[in-house]
Structure 1
Amino acid sequence: MFLPVSKKDMEERGWQQADFVLVTGDAYVDHPSFGTAIISRLLERFGYKVAVLAQPDWRSVKDFTRFGKPRLGFLINSGNVDSMVNHFSVFKHRRKTDHYSPGGKAGLRPDRAVIVYSNKAREAYKDTPIIIGGLEASLRRLGHYDYWDDKVRRSILLDAKADILIYGMGERAVIQIAEALDSGLEAKDVGWIGGTCVKGSLKDADDQTIVLPSFEEIQSSKRRYGDSFALQYRNNDAIAGKQMMEPYGDDLCVVQNIPQPPLEREELDQIYELPYEGEAHPMYEKEGGVPALKEVRFSLTSSRGCFGGCSFCALTYHQGRALRSRSIDSLLKEAESMTRSKDFKGYIHDVGGPTANFRYPACKKQLEAGVCKEKDCLYPKPCPQMNVDHSEYRRLLKELRSLPGVKKVFIRSGIRYDYVMADKDESFLWELCRHHISGTLKVAPEHISPQVLKYMRKPGKEIFQAFTSRYKTINKELGKKQYLIPYLISSHPGSRLEDAIELALFLKENHFIPDQVQDFYPTPGTLSTCMYYTEQDPFTGEAVYVAKDLKDKKMQRALIHFHKPENRRLVKLALEKAKRKDLIPVLLEQNKSKKGRKR
């Protein structure tokens, strides 16, 4: 049974009042790939009554009074995606569709949804606690550069006029907050919970508290902005991190408590075994359902966290680098449930997480001392302390594909190929090629220029080339015609026109025609966004070239798709600007390789 979405639903359950009203910018989908489903079902398990207010009309207060005043508070998120990313392309063009809305219809949530929803909830019931969370709140928990306004904005906790902000994966924090409010405490007094940000005073700082540069400093100085980011990056761990305070004016500050520890395997299993319907709410059937569900309905989330450490990935800041995974038994149980669905055709579309082939914490040391503050696990090369082991993941995949009713198990989350190459046992790569690819494997070298890869914190091109060679050889021995599709990012901080040309030549030489290219998108919370805004490396202070001119960005993107006739003019201009006219006949001669494949 879905949770109540109307007063009538509440009455049918015999509820006089909801404990929480959960407001979300997504359509209501009761599937564990949606944060709203997880939080609401978890609260339900602990005995709390939760009503779901999905995509309310924010132009008036009426929808926010639909269920009456909640007993304990409003829980507010923008949905699975930051509302500004959801609404705008990297070139700031408004998108025409929204995959998280019924029928893919755009315009059903406001820009800066968390702020708008929170202010409407406050207007509806002035004294009701407001707790904000989800990706949009998490990545904007402290002062941050906002690409769409092109300025440094203050913590979303303040702009939303909320009482508490939950950052990261919020299961533990939301239950602790619920219990504190249920005990009779006022929201303003719930200030100690891990994984939260609250309003406070510098007078409360102790000798273990890190006082960050003030908002006024980071707004006026890019160097101080970088200093603040470096401190936040190094303290984003439940074991190694410390409480931080960001001052605003004379006395007000935003307090970021130490992160919550990651959920352990048994806890993750319990989260994913809650009684989800696995569907979008039936009220969306007439619009054709919710497109985003189609991508994940028959997929399995096997892990959380990522020790890959890519500079451009927000998950480092949101989920953290401490990886945890679900048990094989729990995943098999969920898969068996899928096979009983009338719509299941025999194909499990994905088994993964932020990185599909990570199953364990990076090393044993992390479990006692936390993640390293000054070192990455895989960059510039794999740490000798890192645990490289695909055996459990192989066993999981084997048991999944052996289930009655399962024809094929795919891996689409993304394979970390440098981790594959660090494994002396090639069994996983052989099984990947033999069983888990449908013609093409998507991997993410992102670039091949050493200068750019340094700022991306990605492995050198030689690792990608070694992986490509082994992949080709293994498929040949298996008698399979399977190809690679590389994901690439153009105009990342550090990428000059010369680097884009180097990438184009590499693609030409290796007969790659990439299917998808993402122009670098500066989203809150990432190291790359900090470099984009400050044009500095926050850890070293060295200057970083950033392509901000629109024409320069378009030339870099065109060079990656040099084979497209519509890009000929821009490619020619780029080569002329870089004083490489000699390459015009090389890159602009007709490319006859098959789209998206490597010969």
Structure 2
Amino acid sequence: MQQGTQFLPISKEDMRQRGWDELDFVLVMGDAYVDHPSFGPAIIGRILEAEGYRVGVISQPDYTTCESFKVLGKPRYGFFIGGGNVDSMVAHYSVAKVRRKVDEYTPGGVAGKRPDRSATVYTQLAKQAYPDLPVILGGLEASLRRFAHYDYWMDTVLPSIAETSGADIISFGMGEHQTVEIARRLAAGEKASEIRDVEGTCYMTDFAHLPAKYLECAGFNKVSTDKVAYAKACRIQMDNQDSVTGQIIVQKQEHGYLVQNPPAKPLTRRELDRVAALPYTRTWHPSYDALGGVPAIEEVEFSIIHNRGCYGGCNFCAITLHQGRRVTSRSVDSVVEEGELLTKQPGFKGYIHDVGGPTANFRLPSCAKQMTEGMCQGGKKCLAPGPCPHLIIDHTEYLNMLRRLRALPGVKKVFIRSGIRYDYLTWDKDETFFKELVEHHVSGQLKVAPEHCAPNTLKYMGKPPVEVFNKFSKRFYELTKKAGKKQYLVPYLMSSHPGSTLEDAVYLAEYLYKHNIRPEQVQDFYPTPGTVSTCMFYTGLDPYTLKPVFVEKSPEGKALQRALLQYYEPRNAEKVVKALHKTHREDLIPLLVPGYKPKVSAQARPVTGRKSAQNAKAAGRPVQGRFVPNHGKGSGKNSGRPTFAPKTKRK
């Protein structure tokens, strides 16, 4: 905890200790109150405090009654509400829609302390408690649901959260600029209904009060029944998330019109430094001590965030619609000062666990052009399928920062645990950073995200070809060996992404076998609101071309794809074999499932005799208990895919 720092009040008693009988704003959050810069509500609270406002916190209120929103009294100007660092539905349910047993953002990891769709529920309760007070709804959950959107958990399209929640203003993206301006104008006596020109905000209005100039996308009724219209609307929304080129977007909802103003300008380096220097206590509120604290802080307590935004533009990532594609970063001095602060924190043992952000090794904008002309539209990527000719590739400043952190008294190691863009690193002709990464900044395992290897799937993911990963992997192990270390890559992989067929999943399993990769953690594609991939999942269309995209939605098909990622697990044997039969890749059974013996039914018993054996072989049935593959369409030789039969028995 920084010297002299106090938590924001959470009770009337806290207010009395400060000599306050009234608050200016109440901050409501779906997470436990953790006053750390990795937690969005903590930043908003400290920003308001720095502007001179009296701010109190209601964390995970009782969502069965509006009385829980009155515990700090009626604020003078209104509520700022956020659903939590993680979307409440993702926090509550697995991709299989199974209720999770742990919520890491709740004291003790206890599940069920906030409602489903918490941003909506909290806003409605605040409105019930004080109907005359404005509610500004922000955070990830609101940001990604600001347009009419496909809801995976209900398997339907829902209207904008601005309409369903009743919020006066939606603050989307990183909300510092919006928060300061809205608070100033409310405190000056302006009504929320009159605050209609703040960048980075949305609001509901009627037809008569629409702005003079705007770009319209298909409305809720249209996109909920017409998938082509939904895909076209998605493209309009994605193409207007740049602060330079973004236009006002209007979308009709059930009972009014949503107006999205252009995105707020990213914070400058000086502004980011100011946010990082705010007086956070950097820990959970002491009222949670008896409950065991808040598990979510363990990953970030001794980590440093040095940047925002990501121009990687992966189609399954929500950063484009939330943080944006322009990268901004803190100064090296600011990051080093935070490193010095960490060395003085209770429990620090000499290890800075991470120096990263959305993408750890991005410090600069992708190109000079974007600063004046904005990011490229139409689905163009800076990194995929290959590097843009205008891409700035430079690790110099990041490396300098890491060197200064390593030199701090009391620091033993500085690790990088958030995502490294291995493609960006591979394309850097200067290997100095790569070498020092291997020598100093890997804690035994380096997590990277190739996600897949099949060309078709990677195309729909917006990822580079697997050959780039192969080149990176080869060089990583060469440098690791040269450094005399035992370090490993941990690849993140995803099954059932739109575009991924069962044949693609088999191709991936074959690739993993060849490269002796056994991923411990894999995931099914999770269709969360606000991504291009979710649009493809719902519509079956590429929003940039309107061409059909294969989408695996059946439980069996998804289970087979997922099992192939961990083909080596005995529990997956039956599914793997079934997938190989379905794709006519029986030639892989001895490799992926060695020793597998199919269960023989009465209808498919082993046959003997020359003639019977010939008939069985032609039909692809077992002969003497051994499956004889029928090499038809899609099998190894005819499929155009290599088979990786080892010359010696695999150990």
Question: Shorter-chain TM-score: what band?
Answer: over 0.9
Q: Match of 2:340, SS?
A: helix
Output the amino acid matched with 1:49: R
Which of 548, 556, 573 is 1:551 aligned to?
556
Mapping of residues 52-71 of structure 1, within 5 Å = 52-71=57-76
Which of 244, 256, 260 in structure 2 is aligned with 1:256? Answer: 260
Which of 121, 124, 143 in structure 2 is aligned with 1:119?
124
Q: What residue in structure 1 maps to residue 293 of structure 2?
A: 289
Mapped pair 1:563 → 2:544: no
CA shift, 1:70, in A, is 1.0
Task: Identify which of 551, 571, 586 aligns with 1:581.
Answer: 586
Q: Does 1:10 align with 2:15?
A: yes
Counterpart selection for 1:346 from 350, 368, 372: 350
Distance in 2 (CA, whole Å) between partners of 1:589 and 1:412 is 35
CA displacement, residues 24-75 of structure 1 (integer Å, 9 cap, x when unaligned)? 0100000000011100000000001110000000111221110111111111
How far is the alpha carbon of 1:531 from its aligned partner? 0.3
- 1:279 counterpart letter in structure 2: T
- Alpha carbons 1:202, 1:245 under 8 Å: kept: no
Counterparts of 1:150 and 1:216, CA distance in 2: 16
The alpha-carbon deviation at position 203 of structure 1 amounts to 3.8
Contact 2:307 2:358 in 1 (8 A): yes
* Deviation by residue 1:282-320 (Cα, 9 ceiling, x = unmatched): 000001100001110000001000000000001111000
Match for residue 470 of structure 1 among 457, 468, 475? 475
The reply on whether 1:522 has 2:516 as its aligned counterpart is no
Higher mean alpha-carbon deviation, 370-379 vs 168-177, is at 370-379
| Cα distance, 1:579 vs structure 2 | 1.8
Partner secondary structure for residue 143 of structure 2: helix
What pairs with 1:4-403 in structure 2 (closer than 5 Å)? 4-205=9-210, 208-248=213-253, 252-374=256-378, 375-403=380-408
Corresponding position of 2:643: none
- Quick one: distance in 2 between partners of 1:285 and 1:355? 33
Mapped partners of 1:384, 1:554: distance in 2: 40
Per-residue displacement from partner, 1:468-502 (whole Å, max 9, x unpaired)? 11111111111212111110000000000000000
Distance across 1 between alignment mates of 2:207 and 2:366? 36
Match of 1:309, SS?
coil
1:531 alignment counterpart: 536
Deviation, 1:512, is 0.5
> Residue 620 of structure 2 aligns with which residue?
none
Aligned mates of 2:346, 2:132 — CA distance in 1: 47
Q: Secondary structure in 1 aligned to 2:369?
A: helix
Give, as a single letter, the amino acid of the residue that structure 1 aligns with 2:293: G
Q: Distance in 2 between matches of 1:231 and 1:174?
A: 26
- In the alignment, is residue 455 of structure 1 matched against residue 460 of structure 2? yes
* Cα-to-partner distance string for 1:255-308 (whole Å, 9 max, x where unaligned): 000000000100000001000000100000001100001110000001000000
Change (3 A) 1:590 1:439: farther
Contact 1:453 1:460 in 2 (8 A): yes
What does residue 594 of structure 1 align with? none
Give the match's secondary structure for 1:29: coil
Q: Which amino acid aligns with 1:290?
A: V
Once the two structures are superposed, residues 434-493 of structure 1 have per-residue CA deviations (whole angstroms, 9 ceiling, x without a partner) of 000121111100000000000000000110000011111111111212111110000000
Q: In structure 2, the residue corresponding to 1:199 is in which secondary structure?
A: strand
Task: Supply the distance in 2 between the matched residues of 1:415 and 1:211 (Cα, whole angstroms).
Answer: 37
**Are 1:479 and 2:484 counterparts?**
yes
Q: CA deviation at 1:584?
A: 1.1
Contact 2:541/2:547 (CA < 8 Å) preserved in 1?
yes
Is the 2:447–2:491 Cα contact (8 Å) retained in structure 1? yes
For residues 439 and 467 of structure 2, the distance between their equivalents in structure 1, rounded to whole angstroms, comes to 24
Matching residue's letter, 1:111: D
Aligned counterparts of 2:18 and 2:554: Cα–Cα separation in 1:
57
Between 1:190-199 and 1:201-210, the stretch displaced more is: 201-210
Contact 1:202–1:247, Cα closer than 8 Å, also in 2: no
- Find the aligned partners of 1:277 and 1:29 in 2 and give their Cα distance: 8
Q: What are the Cα deviations for residues 137-179 of structure 1, in whole angstroms up to 9, with x where unaligned?
A: 0000010000001000000011111100000000000110001
- Residue 187 of structure 1: how far off its partner (Å): 0.8
Q: Give the length in aligned residue pairs.
A: 591
TM-score w.r.t. the length of structure 2 is 0.90
Aligned-residue offset at 1:201: 3.1
CA offset at residue 342 of structure 1? Answer: 2.5
Q: Distance in 2 between matches of 1:322 and 1:501?
A: 36
TM-score after normalising by structure 1: 0.97
Cα deviation, 1:497-535, whole Å, max 9, x if unaligned, reads 000000000000001111210110000000100000000
User: Match for 1:307: what amino acid?
Assistant: Y
> Which AA in structure 1 matches 2:485?
K
Question: Greater shift after overlay, 527-536 or 470-479?
Answer: 470-479
Q: Which runs of 5+ in 2 are unaligned?
A: 1-5, 597-650
* 1:596 corresponds to: none
The answer as to whether partners of 2:444 and 2:488 remain within 8 angstroms in 1 is: yes
Cα displacement (A) at 1:205: 4.5
State the distance in 2 between where 1:590 and 1:394 align.
49
Which residue identity is paired with 2:218? P
Secondary structure at the counterpart of residue 280 of structure 2:
coil
Amino acid at match of 1:345: K
Pair member with larger Rg? 2
Looking at structure 1, the residues matched to 160 and 192 of structure 2 have their Cα atoms a distance apart, in angstroms, of 18
Distance in 2 of aligned mates of 1:206 and 1:119: 27
Preserved contact between residue 30 and residue 276 of structure 1 (Cα < 8 Å): yes
Deviates further, 295-304 or 54-63: 54-63
Misfit runs of 4+, over 6 Å? none
Answer yes or no: is the 8 Å Cα contact 2:163–2:253 preserved in 1: no
Structure 2 residue aligned with 1:443: 448
* Amino acid across the alignment from 2:381: D
User: What's the CA shift for 1:200?
Assistant: 1.9
SS at match of 2:224: helix
